[in-house]
């Protein structure tokens, strides 16, 4: 078995490395329980990746989601989303019976409200049986987990318990003594909410066991997992509540500046994300410990990390917290090379694929290249008619990950269908192919990615299956109706998979 942490299989990629993979969030897997999870369907998916020569499976962030269900606004940077727990394996553990889990669900999308209610009902049943039966081996594992993860688990579990006590309110609207973490108030809350706090520790233990089971199976099959660490965290999160000094906050613990990007070709007013920005001096004083612990936590479950909004480590667009658009922000220098030197010293390497999309300045490229970090190239962005377009395959360097599109893009079929006819003609000309039907565009881009010089080629599952706009995962700037797509089980027997295997072999990306 190949060591998943060998420098031959994780970024930065060595000379001559060629591999392929698929981007699909865990929630999109088929399963009998309304949402993809760390259960048998994940095992079946890994088998399919292995059979088709795919060396990598990329997921979106796995943290517990809040309003809007966005994986990029988690309630914690360290916790896993408990709704990803597999009921089937809880039945195997003796914590549930099959009758506890008999609910019919749609197979093509996630009903988040329904799934959240169902999963928390069965998780509470599993806790009651665990608490009653006290299974010796699992109890030992649970206590060891709580001890090993106490540095984040204690605050997170109390945060979730307090969220329930205060009906989901933003933590700054809790009583001041709790929002400000006065020791006596926290001690009292821990006593009064002790059972609920213990439940949330237990839920994290269950998802940890299952996540490790999937990770170990993937490792045995030679399939490497890519996780995702967003650069910013949600304002209403256990991260900010427990570590206010690490963020740019005022005396009332409210953000003084928030994250975004300035006006550009895509938006005349920029993008106002609203996340609190970092107090980098406070991070520097700790040797960037909190960030490094975030990476270490993620790397328990995956082999490499997609590092979101990499440009923010060079300089980030900070917008006054009371602004209504991102037009009037300021570029604020980030931690730069010092951050990555500290991270490399602790991790023993930098297993990152960096998201360097958007309007990128030379200092960002210099930081990326100083540490030999593979950047990101998206084929959908290649067709503006300019020969120096960095997304054209002839302009790639080898230490790159190329995508047909990302979770934020339209599916390639939708993208192509919505293009003007003259742009379509230019695409086929650029690809040096006769113009084909809209149904051929996704695989034309997929072949372009796979045959490029990029070390790693990845396509969203929607592009492999040539799916249309109904299967789009996320529309940036749209608050509702995102993140819901699921792959119906019958699509996993599509002829697209043997074709993908053939392409992977022909393009020299089949694992050795």
CB environment 435-464: b (16+ within 10 A), e (fewer):
eeebeebbbbbbbbbbebebbbbbbbbbbb
What the block records as the tokens of 227 is 């996780």
Catalytic residue among 303, 355, 356, 463: 355
Q: Is 502 one of the annotated active-site residues of the chain?
A: no
Q: Torsion angle, CA of 369/371/374/377, rounded to 10 degrees? A: -30
Long-range contacts of 389-392 (CB under 8 A, 24+ apart): 392/430
Instruction: Give kind and range of the element (H or E) at residue 424.
Output: helix 421-430
Catalytic residue among 141, 198, 308, 438: 308
Bond preceding residue 223 cis, omega within 30 of 0? no
Rounded distance, CA 78 to CA 238, Å? Answer: 9
Helix 194-220 and helix 183-192, axial crossing angle in degrees, nearest 10: 80
Determine contact, residues 56/457, Cβ cutoff 8 Å: no
What the block records as the tokens of 349 is 């390497």
Write down the residue that tokens 């051929």 correspond to.
440
Catalytic residue among 408, 417, 438, 440: 408
Instruction: Give kind and range of the element (H or E) at residue 258.
Output: strand 257-261
Task: Report which of 85, 483, 66, 62 is spatially closest to residue 294, judged by C-alpha positions.
Answer: 62
Which residues does 137 contact at the CB level (< 8 Å), separation at least 6? none
- DSSP lists the bridge partners of residue 307 as 229, 354
Calculate the CA 338 to chain-centre distance.
Answer: 25
Q: Is 251 one of the annotated active-site residues of the chain?
A: no
Rounded distance, CA 268 to CA 362, Å? Answer: 23
What the block records as the tokens of 15 is 């000379």
Q: Is 192 one of the annotated active-site residues of the chain?
A: no
Task: Report which of 45, 9, 12 is spatially closest to residue 26, judged by C-alpha positions.
Answer: 45
Write down the residue that tokens 């599916």 correspond to.
411
361 phi and psi, to 5 degrees? -95, 165
Determine contact, residues 320/254, Cβ cutoff 8 Å: no
CB environment 388-420: b (16+ within 10 A), e (fewer):
eebbbbeebebbbbbbbbbbebbbbbbbbeeee
- Annotated active-site positions, please? 308, 355, 408
């Amino acid at each position: 078995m190949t060591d998943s942490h060998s420098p031959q299989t994780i970024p930065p990629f060595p000379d001559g490395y060629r591999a392929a993979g698929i981007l699909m969030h865990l929630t999109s897997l088929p399963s009998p329980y309304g949402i993809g999870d760390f259960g048998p369907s994940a095992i079946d998916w890994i088998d399919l990746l292995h059979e088709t020569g795919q060396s990598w499976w990329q997921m979106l962030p796995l943290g517990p989601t809040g309003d809007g269900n966005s994986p990029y606004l988690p309630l914690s940077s360290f916790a896993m989303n408990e709704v990803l727990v597999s009921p089937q394996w809880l039945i195997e553990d003796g914590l549930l019976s099959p009758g506890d889990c008999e609910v019919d669900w749609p197979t093509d999308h996630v009903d988040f409200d329904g799934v959240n209610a169902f999963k928390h009902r069965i998780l509470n049943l599993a806790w009651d049986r665990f608490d009653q039966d006290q299974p010796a081996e699992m109890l030992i594992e649970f206590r060891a987990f709580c001890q090993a993860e106490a540095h984040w688990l204690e605050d997170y579990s109390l945060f979730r318990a307090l969220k329930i006590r205060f009906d989901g309110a933003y933590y700054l609207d809790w009583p001041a003594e709790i929002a400000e973490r006065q020791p006596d108030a926290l001690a009292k809350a821990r006593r009064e909410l002790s059972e609920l706090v213990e439940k949330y520790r237990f839920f994290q233990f269950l998802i940890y066991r299952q996540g490790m089971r999937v990770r170990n199976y993937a490792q045995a099959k030679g399939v490497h997992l890519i996780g995702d660490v967003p650069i910013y965290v949600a304002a209403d999160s256990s991260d900010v509540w427990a570590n206010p000094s690490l963020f740019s906050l005022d005396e009332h613990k409210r953000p003084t500046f928030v994250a975004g990007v300035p006006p550009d070709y895509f938006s005349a007013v920029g993008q106002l994300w609203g996340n609190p920005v970092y107090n980098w001096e406070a991070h520097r004083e700790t040797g960037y410990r909190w960030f490094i612990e975030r990476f270490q936590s993620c790397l328990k479950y995956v082999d490499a990390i997609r590092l979101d909004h990499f440009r923010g480590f060079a300089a980030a667009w900070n917008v006054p917290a009371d602004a209504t658009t991102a037009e009037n922000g300021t570029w604020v220098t980030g931690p730069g090379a010092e951050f990555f030197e500290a991270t490399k010293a602790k991790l023993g390497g930098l297993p990152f694929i960096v998201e360097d999309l958007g309007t990128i300045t030379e200092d960002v490229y210099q930081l990326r290249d100083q540490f030999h970090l593979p950047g990101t190239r998206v084929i959908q962005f290649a067709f503006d008619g300019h020969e120096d377009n960095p997304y054209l395959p002839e302009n790639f360097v080898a230490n790159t990950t190329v995508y047909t599109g990302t979770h934020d893009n339209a599916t390639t079929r939708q993208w192509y269908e919505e293009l003007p006819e003259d742009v379509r003609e230019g695409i086929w000309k650029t690809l040096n192919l006769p113009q084909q039907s809209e149904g051929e565009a996704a695989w034309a881009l997929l072949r372009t990615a796979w045959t490029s010089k990029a070390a790693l080629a990845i396509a969203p599952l929607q592009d492999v299956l040539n799916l249309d706009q109904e299967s789009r995962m996320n529309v940036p700037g749209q608050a509702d109706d995102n993140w819901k797509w699921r792959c119906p089980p019958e699509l996993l027997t599509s002829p697209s998979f043997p074709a993908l295997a053939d392409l992977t072999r022909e393009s020299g990306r089949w694992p050795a």
